[in-house]
Structure formats: C-alpha cells, structure tokens
Amino acid sequence: MKNNMEALSYLIDFAIVFLGILLALFFNKINQRRAHKKRIKSIMGIIKKDFNNDLKSVEATIEATNGNILYKKVINGEVLNDNEKLNSMSLSTKYSMFQISTRGFNLLKDAKVDFDFKDSNLITEIINLYDKHLDRLNSYSLYLKDNTERNFRSFKQYPWAVEFYKSEISDGYLNFLESIEYKSNLSYHYSLITGPWKRGLTEYQKEVKDILQKIEKSSFKTID
C-alpha cells in the first residue's frame, strides 16, 4: 500500500512538472510570436518611410526628365543661347539618377517572417514589389550609366577634347554639336531616359502608392 502511495505521489509530481514545462513552453511561444509581430510591425514602419522617401525622389527624377527641353532643342537643331550651349556639353554624359531605398526591405528579408498572421499577404506583396523593381531599375540605371561613360570617353578622339574635358566651349565642339553623329547619339541616349528608365520609374511610383494605401488599411497602419 505504501509503495502504491509513493508511486502515485511520484506520478503526480511528474505530471505537475511535465504540465509546468508544457505551460512554460506554451507561454514562451506566445511571447516569441508577440515579439516577432512587434518586430515585423516596426520593420513595416521603416518600409513606409522608405516608400514615402522614394516617392519624393521618383517625382523629382521624373520632373527633371520631363522638364529638360534642351535635349529636343539640340536634336532638332534649334538656335541655342550661350548658357544652353554650355549645358549641352553634359546632355549625353548624364541622367537623373534614382536608387530604391532598401533598409526596410533588407531588415524584412533578415527577419524570419511567420506568415500565419493577419495581413501577412501584404508582406508577400511588398517583397514581390521590391524583387521586381530592384532588378528592373538597377538594370536600366546600369545601362544608362554605361552609356553615359561610353559617350564621355568617346569625345577624347576629337581635337576639341581638351577644352571639352575642362568644360570650355570651343568652335570644334559647337560644330560637333550640330553634326548628325552627335544628334544620333543624343537621340539614342534621350530615348533611353524617356523610354525604359522613365517608364520603370513611373511603374514603381504607381505600385508604391498602391501598397501605401493598402498599408494604411491594414494592421500595420500604426506603429507601436
């Protein structure tokens, strides 16, 4: 009888310890999930800031692209004033640059996202947006950068190159400015800027605006 009571006592003690361990694991998991959600929400706050900063930069870049009428004046062979002649020297060797802010995205990639919670689909949309536009805009920007550098190097073959690289206008450069060769190269460069580059910026701008509207309607609207 005594042995049976001791065995029952041991069994009860074991059950209490086992139950305590289960409860500890349960509450620990709850706390981990709560901390995880809080971290994801904090990262989403950073992503919102990144998106809003990007919208300002994209808008400025698109405006700069739309507002530069000097390209068309040179390509069409219109008469230029002295200031326009000076500014025309860099037309084929520059473009309005833009780079996507990725701090929030990088943090989101490093976080172990548990997709089993409210608005997790929105996170998937955000990741897909970054994956799509980072590759596209980086490719466009790299191609434009290579083209501008190629144009810049190409001028060294001309007698007026010394003055050009010192940003000094010469008669040789002014004659080259009116040549079919230069107008063709400038037309191609301008088509890259107003074509794929501007189109990529505009699409990114639109999709970011759509995502920000979804964030405002989600549980990520307010950041603790």
- Measured in degrees and rounded to the nearest 5, phi and psi for residue 43 equal -65, -40
Residue 27 lies in a domain: no
Domain of 73, in residue numbers: 43-216
User: What is the pLDDT at residue 120?
Assistant: 78
Residue 11 lies in a domain: no
Q: Mean pLDDT, consecutive 10-residue segments, the chain of 224 residues?
A: 62 70 67 73 92 96 88 92 90 93 91 67 91 95 95 93 91 92 94 95 97 89 58
Burial of 6 (0-12, 13-18, 19+ CB in 10 A): exposed
Q: Which residues contact 152 (CB under 8 A, 6 or more apart)?
A: 93
Handedness of CA 43, 46, 52, 57 (dihedral sign): negative
Residue 84 lies in a domain: yes
Residue 19 lies in a domain: no
Residue 222 lies in a domain: no
Residue 209 lies in a domain: yes
User: What is the pLDDT at residue 41?
Assistant: 85
Q: How far is CA 195 from CA 99, 148, 153, 215, in A?
A: 18, 16, 24, 30
Domains of the chain: total: 1
User: What is the pLDDT at residue 21?
Assistant: 75
pTM of the model: 0.82
